[in-house]
Structure 1
Amino acid sequence: MCHRNAPLTETGRLRRARCVVEDRWPLRRAAERFQVSVGCAKRWADRYRCHGEAGMVDRSSRPHHSPRRVPTRTERRIIKVRVLRRWGPARIAGLLGLNPSTVHQVLVRYRINRLAHMDRATGRVIRRYEYNEPGGLVHVDIKKLGNIPDGGGHKIHGRATGSRHSTRSQPIANNSTSSRAKLGYAYLHTALDDHSRLAYTEILPGETKTIATAFWKRAQAWFAAAGIEIQRVLTDNGACYRSRPWKEALNKAGISHKRTRPYRPQTNGKVERFHRTLLDEWAYAQPYSSETQRRAALPSWLHDYNHHRHHTSIGGPPASRVSNLSGQYN
């Protein structure tokens, strides 16, 4: 905080102005005495002559006139499109023949520049929630991901050459045979804590009830080792989450099961967003030469996510919300 008697605070300006106006100091002498420019000394002296002590207060930098400001009629059209169609600045600008930055300035001026809390399909306000402690709710979901062939896919060889490495088929013998070997998919099973965003992920060969139930038992043990006692689990309406083994595993642990509404993936949005981050920063972050290389990079990335990566919505890494988590300082 600046000291009240510093040269360019209200008190310093008043002392300097009084030296010039009342004590008849030359502007150059006053400027040297208070270590400011001659122009600065003259400006505050003129304000003191016109307004007295009240003139020493900072004024707004906003101009008195804005001849190039967007007309009021155009602003109303921008606001109308924003409210009715919930479009972003670029689409509104294209419709109205304006510059996207101009549209953005208007939206900021009227404080409607964010769509984060609005459902674009219905216009309803999204009710955001967060449980008060770790384990209050754990989101579980599966992400299907195509395997990478040995030697790399199109990210290494380009689209034209890499198309032969697609997940549909791949030659396994010489050119004389038509037999093909399917590369298949990897299934990312994830359990993510609602409060801390702490994530546990495994790459598994399928999404059957047996695989999903076995994954959950390992995930529950992992959270328990971190000192998190799980109370509720939220999943979609997949067949594996409606199976008897899944229900029995949760009932045995005393965990209640909640399912999202059909065709409403945003209800399970935290784990959906985690999967997007997972793809951007791990799966597609670099051109891998094989599926084995990509899978080997997952544990390191997951550790960085849980212990070191800053999470915007919680103001730090997930480990910052979990007490005594092992490996936090590695």
Structure 2
Amino acid sequence: MSHANAALTPRARLRLARLIVDHGWSPARAAERYDVSWRTAAKWAARYRTEGEAGMTDRSSRPRRQPNLTPAPTIRKIEHLRRKRRLGPVPIADQLGLAASTVHAVLRRKGLNRLTHLDRGTGEPIRRYEHAAPGDLLHVDVKKLGNVPDGGGWRYLGRQAGDRNRQTTARRTGQRAHDYEPRIGTAYVHTVIDDHSRVAYAEIHDDETALTATGVLHRAVAWFAERGVTIHRVLSDNGSAYKSRLWHATCNDLGITVKKTRPYRPQTNGKIERFHRTLADGWAFTKFYNSEKARRKALPAFLHDYNHHRPHTAIGKLPPITRLNNLAGHHT
């Protein structure tokens, strides 16, 4: 594509060249017609004579000779220091005796200018993937959150008021730890997200057993089926619920292939890990809740906003639901 300030598009270059070569116009006359210099007109005419219509396309402006180009061995050293030691442009430049701007240019050219683009374990650029259609792969996991005590927690009230509310809640429920500390309990948010569309489904339970996890999977599969999506594979970590016989038997009954992440590699399930951060920022800790019941009551509204209205940067800033079949009533 021609740059914004180009005087001639490829089509205009072709017409200009044909006036000179095919119709016998002088370069000066054709240049005046297209408001360019005669040298420009002569250049396109000469290229048309030798290369034909294909010669009218844009070419790289890179010079044929670059005597000051960074040598390949130096580029390899820069890559090594970035990937293995995770150094920035200034420390790398200091070690190699280069300008920091030169190092930065090399890192940008190699796609290594942001550490977030590199895998922490290997230093290699992160390989991102996306399955082609909804239902090809579901990511499942559990997000654990401490329950909100009656009256609110320490995040909004401070430690002193938060501890006082914890004591009040423990007296009401009678739940105490072995050292008589108040036990508020844990909310286990079972989350399911479709790999292609990023549409999310979630339920809150008081445990993460295999029986609960399989129940969530059954309901999630039915929820997606109502939206025209058939589930083929499910990816989970190596938690006890997902390694159980009940989980494998349930997936087999549903016709779903079981997939597991690599041990100690949460990046393999990165889409749902990123959703958990959005879940925490947009629902769990976004505002003051005076009880756990109030927070749980707010989850469906958050999920609806996430699926139907919130723009998702990974899918072109569109809501996830737009990647599903546009069935009546599902996008409102």
What TM-score do the two structures reach when normalised by structure 2?
0.67
Residue segments in structure 1 that go unaligned for 5+ positions in a row: 11-47, 55-74
The aligned amino acid for 1:201 is A
- Residues 29-57 of structure 1: CA distance to partner in whole angstroms, max 9, x if unpaired? xxxxxxxxxxxxxxxxxxx9xx9879xxx
Is 1:128 the counterpart of 2:128? The answer is yes
Answer with 277-286 or 101-110: which moved more: 101-110
- Show the counterpart of 2:112: 112
CA distance in 2, matches of 1:89, 1:151: 50
CA distance in 2, matches of 1:89, 1:148: 45
Residue segments in structure 2 that go unaligned for 5+ positions in a row: 9-36, 42-74
- Show the counterpart of 2:295: 294
The aligned amino acid for 1:119 is D
CA distance in 2, matches of 1:326, 1:148: 38
CA distance in 2, matches of 1:101, 1:313: 30
Q: Is the 8 A contact 2:147 2:187 kept in 1?
A: yes
The aligned amino acid for 1:118 is L
- Residues 44-89 of structure 1: CA distance to partner in whole angstroms, max 9, x if unpaired? xxxx9xx9879xxxxxxxxxxxxxxxxxxxx999766423322567
Q: CA deviation at 1:120?
A: 1.8
SS in 1 for 2:315: coil
Count of matched residue pairs: 279
- Show the counterpart of 1:172: 171
CA distance in 1, matches of 2:248, 2:170: 42
SS in 2 for 1:189: strand
- Show the counterpart of 1:213: 214
The aligned amino acid for 1:266 is Q
The aligned amino acid for 2:155 is K
CA distance in 2, matches of 1:117, 1:160: 41
The aligned amino acid for 1:143 is K
Rate the CA distance shift 1:220–1:180 in 2: closer, same or farther, 3 A: same
- Show the counterpart of 1:314: 315
Q: Is the 8 A contact 1:198 1:319 kept in 2?
A: yes
Rate the CA distance shift 1:281–1:53 in 2: closer, same or farther, 3 A: same
CA distance in 1, matches of 2:319, 2:92: 36
- Show the counterpart of 2:235: 234
The aligned amino acid for 1:242 is K
- Show the counterpart of 2:279: 278
- Show the counterpart of 2:244: 243
Q: Is the 8 A contact 1:307 1:318 kept in 2?
A: yes
The aligned amino acid for 1:307 is H
CA distance in 1, matches of 2:101, 2:291: 43
SS in 1 for 2:148: coil
- Show the counterpart of 2:254: 253
CA distance in 2, matches of 1:244, 1:116: 37
CA distance in 2, matches of 1:258, 1:80: 33
Q: Is the 8 A contact 1:138 1:232 kept in 2?
A: yes
CA distance in 2, matches of 1:214, 1:303: 21
SS in 2 for 1:313: helix
Q: CA deviation at 1:119?
A: 1.1
Is 1:204 the counterpart of 2:205? The answer is yes
CA distance in 2, matches of 1:183, 1:325: 42
- Residues 203-234 of structure 1: CA distance to partner in whole angstroms, max 9, x if unpaired? 11100111111111111110111110011111
Q: Is the 8 A contact 1:171 1:179 kept in 2?
A: no
Rate the CA distance shift 1:80–1:131 in 2: closer, same or farther, 3 A: closer
CA distance in 2, matches of 1:253, 1:279: 31
What TM-score do the two structures reach when normalised by structure 1?
0.68
Rate the CA distance shift 1:142–1:326 in 2: closer, same or farther, 3 A: farther
- In percent, how many aligned pairs have the same letter? 53
- Show the counterpart of 2:153: 153
Q: CA deviation at 1:102?
A: 11
CA distance in 2, matches of 1:160, 1:204: 28
